Amino acid sequence: MYLSVLVRLSIFDAIFGPIATLFGWLTGILYEFFGNYGLAIIFMTIIVRGVTVPLNVRSAKAMMKQQTLSDKQMAIKRKYPDDKKKQEEELQKLFAENGISSFSGCITPFLPIFFLIPTYYIVRCPLQYITGVSKSNISQIGELLGIKSAVADNISVINRLHSDGKAMSEVVSKGLIKLQQIPDMKFLGLDLGQTPSWNPAKIAKEPSVYVPLLIIPLLVLLTTVLQNMLISATKPEAKKKKEEKKRAKNNPANNQPDDPAARTTKIMNIAMPAIMLITTFWMPAAFGFYWIVGNLMGMIQQVLTYHMFSKPYEERKKELEEQKKLAFKKKPELASATAGSGKKKK
């Protein structure tokens, strides 16, 4: 069992370790440039999220394509309401005929979650990933200071060195670390190296540290909920779907076929804020801070994507529908005028 756990951890490290090294290197450069840990995380997040912008644009275009086939998709679901396998086959066939990948737009929303794992590495081990202290040196520092988990969690080492001048002098004089390699984790009065706590006893013991940190979980929850709401509100034809739900509520005959994707999204919208809120209470505040900045970036991207793609698409569709209605209205008028003209000739 122990061997299987080690194998899993090594596979985990093999996948996310290189990304964590890249994120750490980038954050290290930014920390050197700004001389501020909080600003380094902000700009690292902006750069990382900025790289995903082309993917978001591609995803938005794919969604627009799928939306143009919404009527045909609904027709397939109505035709095979009890045969999910046949539904999937027909939908796949429809997408293939129109050059749409069924997975387009599915991967991009999960990238921010994927990036959380390497971020976890760098906020727990900033000495290793950001300021470039070797694992061997960190291990030796841990032995000198009596900190057993020094390699897995550098924060305890950093906090001890900041609070114990004698210990700092000893590890520096032994050449295990340089002064500039010990990051200052404070930003706007918040110690991003500390972990927020909900425990009243712990908060009462050091209120100057833990009371301000409570803003991190609150902002994580708020920005996650707001981002989910914004995504739902700016999805193509969100208004139309809302009206359909209202009609279905008033008249069950208007009920649309069950949409598994919509159900999954609803569950995720409830679960994700709760998961992130809980996570911020057992991770350094820097982790929650990264998530807050990422959420704000995500909201900006969503608004831009909406105005670039979704809104013009909806306006164009509305314009075409009005043209169809006008053309439909003109046909009876034209027929009536033709019939009247024929009568006069007689």
pLDDT averaged over 10-residue windows placed end to end, the chain, 346 residues: 42 77 92 92 90 76 69 75 76 73 60 82 91 92 89 90 90 91 90 90 89 94 90 70 60 54 70 87 91 90 80 71 68 56 53
Can you give the length of the chain in residues?
A: 346
Pick from 56, 52, 33: which is nearest to 43 by CA?
A: 33
Q: Name 121's Cβ contacts closer than 8 Å, sequence gap at least 6.
A: 16, 17, 20, 23, 24, 129
- pLDDT computed for residue 345 by the predictor: 52
Give pLDDT, residue 235: 74
Compute the distance between CA of residue 229 and CA of residue 298 in angstroms, rounded to an integer.
12
Angle, CA 33 vertex, CA 32 and CA 34 arms, to 5°: 100
Q: Which of 288, 283, 290 is nearest to 125 (CA)?
A: 283
pTM to 2 decimal places: 0.75
Distance CA 137, CA 151 (A): 9
Phi, psi of 145 (to 5 degrees): -95, -5
Q: Where are the beta strands (DSSP E) in the chain?
A: 186-187, 190-191
What are residue 190's phi and psi, to 5 degrees?
-100, 135
Whole-angstrom Cα Rg for the chain: 28
DSSP string for 251-266? -GGGPPPP-HHHHHHH
168 closest CA partner among 152, 145, 184, 143? 145
